[in-house]
Structure 1
Amino acid sequence: MASFLKDLWNRLVGSGSAGAHEEPSGEAVEYKGFRIRPAPYSSKGGYQTAGIIEKDSEDGLKEHRFVRAETHPSKDDAAAFAITKGKQIIDEQGDRIFS
């Protein structure tokens, strides 16, 4: 459990394994004034649900990165689910995700 949390922390702060530096995969999806960019990464024989929610503002680009516990057998499946989770986060939190 501790190694999982350490790996997750390293991915969130941008250090650790090479997978932490993978570029978003797939096209960004526009949703309610936000952009959702899927960014799944290889993890334990599957792909971890992860993505980036972006929004342009007067202060510049705002960005929120998310990682979820779900894994998928293919990168495409994980990317599609990241879009779904991104929409859910936007619906539940809106601009509060950037505070």
Structure 2
Amino acid sequence: MASFFSKLFGGGKPEANDDSPAARGETVTYKEFSIAASPMRDGDQWRLCGVILKAVPGTDGQDDVQLERTFIRADLYTSREEAETFAVRKGQQIIDEQGDRLFADGAPTGRA
């Protein structure tokens, strides 16, 4: 019975599934960057979202640091697979337009 009330009133941990915005698809290498699609469920459709990643050398001989820039667009698709395909294309377009300027501020995370 406690499980029923926990689910009803939002107690407990949410279950991870492919509807989660954090669920990233396969990483695709493009130029010196990586792109990972991470579509978000929006009703019965999927919103185009993704992450552009770049490894930069750490300071004082430390391991590389992974910088990332997220992008979210208004485009909606009927399947997660279709949204992932177009997220990779959009990531490539952003890289072509902005390149290293995406990471010019040196911040570990941010928006593209």
Fold conserved between structures, TM > 0.5: yes
Q: Does 1:64 align with 2:63?
A: no
The correspondence for 1:88, drawn from 81, 86, 93, is 93
- CA shift at 1:22, angstroms? 2.6
- CA shift at 1:46, angstroms? 0.2
RMSD between aligned residues: 1.5
The residue that corresponds to 2:32 in the other structure is 33
Report the Cα distance in structure 1 between the residues aligned to 2:22 and 2:67, rounded to whole angstroms: 19
**Percent identity among equivalent residues?**
38
Q: Which runs of 5+ in 1 are unaligned?
A: 1-17
Report the Cα distance in structure 2 between the residues aligned to 1:22 and 1:29, rounded to whole angstroms: 17
TM-score by length of 2: 0.67
Q: Matched residue of 1:23: which SS?
A: coil
The residue that corresponds to 2:22 in the other structure is 22
Contact 2:23 2:38 in 1 (8 A): yes
The residue that corresponds to 1:42 in the other structure is 41
Q: Matched residue of 1:24: which SS?
A: coil
The residue that corresponds to 1:74 in the other structure is 79
Report the Cα distance in structure 2 between the residues aligned to 1:48 and 1:21, rounded to whole angstroms: 10
* Amino acid across the alignment from 1:96: R
